[in-house]
């Protein structure tokens, strides 16, 4: 048994970052040595001095869709909020609906003066609902007009600029949450890394809310991850394989890039073009096949993400580093500061 309480730490509420910094790359950066547990304190743009020519930085280029929709139920005009989770076929989406109790199959929903309509088809085992949407035009354009960014519940401030919950290299629509470690990069910082001879490879993993689902089991090993869609093209696979073969490091930006690489690699850590669904759950004891270092944010107590970073750097080192971060007043979670585990 692995006790979920072993991944708990005390976090004062006021350290949860509510707003993004004006300059993305001016966040603080804690550097954690995974072998010794030693920490150093820097600013994020100093990351260039920790990456060496030939190292391969792996980015998740998924794009967050404005997946939160506010509407009303047809007939009663009761307010309803839905969150788009997963696109199925024929404009059918798996969704979270609030309040969900009275939203039975057949319930009709109206959004944005009727330009977007929905009908609940099915209530799934976990309480999620399948909704069939009807509209004229292009779904993505309608979402852009009426949808809001699905900020995590611990962020209570309104986001003034939608793009701040999006990485500067976001390309492929599909996430219900941002791969937040990437929010610290600017085009200028990426350009300076490339100039230094650092390889950059892009993969895609569409972040679902399963990533943030609390671990309800006391025994971590009984927790089941929701599946998320990933893809890696051949050119990214080649770059990562070349870096490894030449003895350079593969540095994942974020837990989502990490899960993509570790899901797609064969037993020897070799990658080839692939895509599919992954429900990989990485916790202490896991042997990493691909990544050597990780850039990540500070994660919620007892979350699967704290378990993942503990698998890489050791639980004691991670919890000690988090204690230091609290003492030094680092900013936590999505809009917070960053950590490099080297």
pLDDT at 211: 65
pLDDT at 205: 97
pLDDT at 14: 96
- Compute the CA torsion angle 86, 88, 91, 92 (nearest 10 deg): -80
pLDDT at 194: 97
Q: How many Å apart are CA 5 and CA 215, to the nearest integer?
A: 10
pTM exceeds 0.85 for this model: yes
Rounded to the nearest 10 degrees, what angle do helices 304-313 and 315-327 cross at? 110
* Averaged pLDDT score across all residues of the chain: 94
Q: How many Å apart are CA 36 and CA 212, to the nearest integer?
A: 29
Q: How would you class 231 by CB atoms within 10 Å of its CB: exposed for 0-12, middle for 13-18, buried for 19 or more?
A: middle
Question: 75-100: per-residue pLDDT in tens?
Answer: 888 999 999 988 888 899 999 898 87
Question: 242-262: per-residue pLDDT in tens?
Answer: 999 999 999 999 999 999 999
């Amino acid at each position: 048994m692995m006790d979920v309480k072993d991944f708990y730490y005390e976090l004062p509420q006021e350290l949860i970052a509510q707003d993004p910094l004006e300059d993305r790359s001016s966040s603080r950066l804690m550097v954690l040595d995974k072998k010794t547990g030693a920490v150093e304190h820097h600013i994020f743009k100093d990351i260039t001095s920790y990456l060496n020519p030939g190292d391969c930085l792996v980015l998740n280029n998924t794009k967050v869709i404005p997946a939160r929709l506010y509407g009303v139920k047809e007939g009663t005009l009761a307010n309803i909020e839905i969150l788009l989770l997963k696109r199925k076929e024929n404009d059918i989406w798996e969704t979270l609906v609030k309040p969900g109790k009275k939203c039975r199959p057949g319930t009709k929903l109206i959004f944005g003066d009727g330009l977007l309509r929905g009908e609940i088809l099915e209530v799934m085992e976990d309480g999620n609902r399948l909704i069939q949407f009807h509209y004229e035009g292009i779904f993505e354009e309608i979402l852009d007009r009426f949808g809001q960014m699905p900020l995590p519940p611990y962020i209570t401030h309104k986001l003034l600029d939608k793009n701040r919950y999006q990485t500067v290299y976001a390309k492929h629509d599909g996430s219900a949450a941002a791969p937040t470690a990437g929010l610290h990069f600017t085009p200028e910082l990426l350009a300076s890394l490339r100039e230094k001879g650092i390889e950059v490879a892009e993969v895609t993993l569409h972040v679902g809310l399963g990533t943030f689902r609390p671990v309800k089991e006391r025994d971590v090993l009984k927790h089941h991850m929701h599946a998320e869609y990933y893809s890696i093209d051949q050119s990214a696979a080649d770059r990562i394989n070349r870096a490894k073969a030449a003895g350079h490091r593969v540095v994942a930006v974020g837990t989502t890039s990490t899960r993509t690489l570790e899901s797609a690699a064969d037993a020897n850590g070799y990658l080839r073009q692939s895509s599919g669904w992954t429900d990989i759950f990485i916790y202490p004891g896991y042997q990493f096949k691909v990544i050597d270092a990780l850039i990540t944010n500070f994660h919620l107590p007892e979350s699967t993400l704290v378990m993942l970073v503990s698998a890489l750097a050791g639980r004691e080192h991670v919890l000690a580093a988090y204690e230091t971060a609290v003492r030094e007043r680092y900013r936590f979670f999505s809009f917070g500061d960053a950590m490099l585990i080297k």
